[in-house]
Structure 1
């Protein structure tokens, strides 16, 4: 698939997601209004309000819609999730980690504000995100459900989630690792936030257990697929396509799906996993065009 076709497919999905993205962006702007000290809020806003796909918060909103939930109950958690994701990107890009100069098509946070402020901006987002959930979720939401969502959010954010995945990823650089270790990295470094996204949307919509379980499985597969696609694009993509410097994983001698299985098997596995994710939606009676199309788009952007 040529670049122009991939762009067209991506833009088509973005148009369908437009209302969700505009809603999320408006609330992110509101929650991150400039306060004192100005520089830290400006640094937080710089990364969070950059042009991103908002795939994780969109997944949360669409999961809530699929469960006939009230979107107003979900917006704070969706925005908190995007803040958490952006925090992880700020720290990932630091010289002591992946040492990248570009993210989302613009200079990385530390290139604009310096390393010290970038570290603090990430720290501030990590601390502020759960406050957004607690302070802005409507009081009509059952407190027991809210606490469960907050607990799962903090788990996904910490040593049992993306931090744990990142640590194992760093420790595995330039080493041969077994499949269990590799799968741990994929499921924690990337998969945890996708799983949380769909689970939070369902939980805040008081979804029945069967639908919650189906969306959980869908989220796990989409998160796994998203990382495979990211690994493929690190090899085949351009700065224009992926918004960051390509080839970084190879340069850092990271273990990726492509380094494990090669490009062709990676593409085939990506297609199979996304088909499996779509089948979960169909089999469980979850009627969501956007959730279905997100799975399609992950394949389209990584398969040429």
Structure 2
């Protein structure tokens, strides 16, 4: 799906940075180290690392400087998927076309692997080859995105919303849920790239507007694919949202309105990137991938 040659190159960089960051599998505890590698290296869209590189390219940031934040945000994302798939959460057996970590190993190892991936992410970022002020700003950005005001808070809202219908769950509440659960890490990825590139405060605001629309669009598309897709193409269990009575856009507003919301979000992304001109080409390409993907 990656048409822009820069995106293909950045994906290769991200994969290499992740492989280098992960602990040596030949040392003990072998099972934990193998589970960490299983969670990270078996595919995935690498959307978040690509966003780091694409945002960094706006200000001509050195690609080597972007490797650390690109790897760090993907490690946090991978940890979140490991925990999201656990029986106490979404109880899923398939991820990226492979058995989930708790299925391939066991629940205790999956919990530990997720914990270890999260701590590794912050270690990688703390050792980034960036000025100290930029490193601290990135650490703060990623911590916010991963915690109670970001991804974990969104997951808690998702758990609370499961099975809800009617006035108890408004579209505004659903969008807030996904702005935290899915959107927070996407916004962090874009912002960290912008920080590495020295983008000015006004530019960072525009990037955040783009990322906010992208994060919500990514989730709306995910919800649509769960209805229309199949497990083989998706690489995860299709129809799981409906089976678990999850809060989704199609369940709340229907498929037609979900597609219309997706179109509106594309317009928002384009408007946010307009001031950057042609330099934002990779970010625009990633926005298209998010809304046109089939998995």
Say whether the fold is shared (TM-score over 0.5).
yes
Answer whether contact 2:49 2:70 (CA < 8 A) is retained.
yes
Answer whether contact 1:66 1:286 (CA < 8 A) is retained.
no
2:152 pairs with one of 153, 158, 163: 163
Answer whether contact 1:173 1:254 (CA < 8 A) is retained.
yes
Match of 1:23 in 2: 13
Q: Give yes or no for the alignment of 1:120 onto 2:112.
A: yes
**Distance in 2 separating the partners of 1:148 and 1:66:** 18
Residue deviations 1:191-238 (CA, integer Å, cap 9, x gap) = 001100110000112111222111111111100100000000010011
Q: Which runs of 5+ in 1 are unaligned?
A: 1-9
CA RMSD of aligned residues (A): 1.6
Q: Give yes or no for the alignment of 1:153 onto 2:142.
A: yes
**Distance in 1 separating the partners of 2:6 and 2:43:** 16
Q: Give yes or no for the alignment of 1:12 onto 2:3.
A: yes
Q: Give yes or no for the alignment of 1:233 onto 2:225.
A: yes
1:40 pairs with one of 7, 23, 32: 32
Please list, as runs of the form range in 1=range in 2, the aligned pairs for 1:200-215 lying within 5 A after superposition: 200-215=192-207
Please list, as runs of the form range in 1=range in 2, the aligned pairs for 1:119-138 lying within 5 A after superposition: 119-135=111-127, 137-138=128-129
Match of 1:73 in 2: 65
Instruction: Tell me the matched-pair count.
Output: 290
**Distance in 2 separating the partners of 1:67 and 1:209:** 13
The two structures have a TM-score, normalised by structure 2, of 0.94
Three-state SS of the structure 2 residue aligned to 1:288 is helix
Query: Following superposition, which runs of at least 4 residues in structure 1 exceed 4 angstroms of deviation?
Result: none
